Amino acid sequence: MRIDILTLFPNMIEPVLNESMMWRAKAYKFVNINVIDYRAYSEDKRKTVDDTPYGGGAGMVLRVEPVIKALRDIDGHEDALKILMTPQGIPFTQTRAKTLSKNKHVIIMCGHYEGYDERIRDYFDVEVSIGDYVLTSGEVAALVVVDAMVRLIPGVLSNASSAEDDSFSNHLLEYPQYTRPRVFEGKAVPDILLSGHHQNIQSWRLEQSESRTKKRRPDLYQKYKESKEK
């Protein structure tokens, strides 16, 4: 998989890509990630990429020219899936992460300032939001999308079942997890996890996931019920 990230702040992105699973995915060539500073595509002396909005208003707006020049300079951009990070986009979910992870080439645009020149939207295929709140810039949001996608690429996680058991993978929150010590300050690991009876353990984990989801995320639990009825 290839991912190109268009950003004004490469230093916000590159350190994260060099740690943990992102480093592993790159080191073992499961993914090729390029960070592109689209300020370099501004043609004025000060390398400005924003301007005041027509019609007045607070803040500055990203200009269309440097963004689209940077986009068009990416090899294979015509066939890539082009994602615009914006609070106005469709909600990012685990299901959407799975779908995106199957693409061979993804380009992600990080916004900044008050917003985009509306014409920028015409050059991207999908607009994505990671939640109903506003960030200073799109770099953090883009990293969320990249991390969620990359860990689903076959081979990135050493244990493939880890991704299958994650919260949201089947509309359920993950079951409780325990490790040593067996007892801590009077709080003991449930006996069933020490029984060695794998079928009973799996049944207990499913019950815990269902109970936890119903209590904490009734909206998600409803989706789980609907999926079982199909």
Domain that holds residue 98: 2-150
Q: pLDDT digit string (tens) for 172-203?
A: 999 999 999 999 999 999 999 999 999 999 99
Say whether both 144 and 113 belong to one domain: yes
Q: What's the whole-model pTM score?
A: 0.89
Say whether both 124 and 30 belong to one domain: yes
Give the model's pLDDT for residue 170.
87
Q: What is the CATH number of the domain that holds 41?
A: 3.40.1280.10
Q: What is the CATH number of the domain that holds 212?
A: 1.10.1270.20
Say whether both 116 and 14 belong to one domain: yes
pLDDT tier for residue 162 given thresholds of 50, 70 and 90: low
Question: 211 lies in a domain?
Answer: yes
Say whether both 115 and 216 belong to one domain: no
Residue 205's nearest CA partner among 178, 160, 174, 166 is 174
> Which comes out higher in pLDDT, residue 59 or 126?
126
Question: 129 lies in a domain?
Answer: yes
Q: pLDDT digit string (tens) for 1-23?
A: 999 999 999 999 999 999 999 99
- Residues serving a catalytic function are 87, 114, 151, 166
Give the model's pLDDT for residue 229.
87
Phi then psi for residue 7, to 5 deg, are: -150, 160
Give the model's pLDDT for residue 101.
95
78 — alpha (psi -120 to 50), left (phi > 0) or beta?
alpha
Among residues 116, 150, 184, the one where a domain terminates is 150
Name the burial class of residue 81, with classes exposed (0-12), middle (13-18) and buried (19+) by CB atoms within 10 angstroms of its CB: middle
The proportion of the chain whose per-residue pLDDT surpasses 90, expressed as a percent, equals: 87
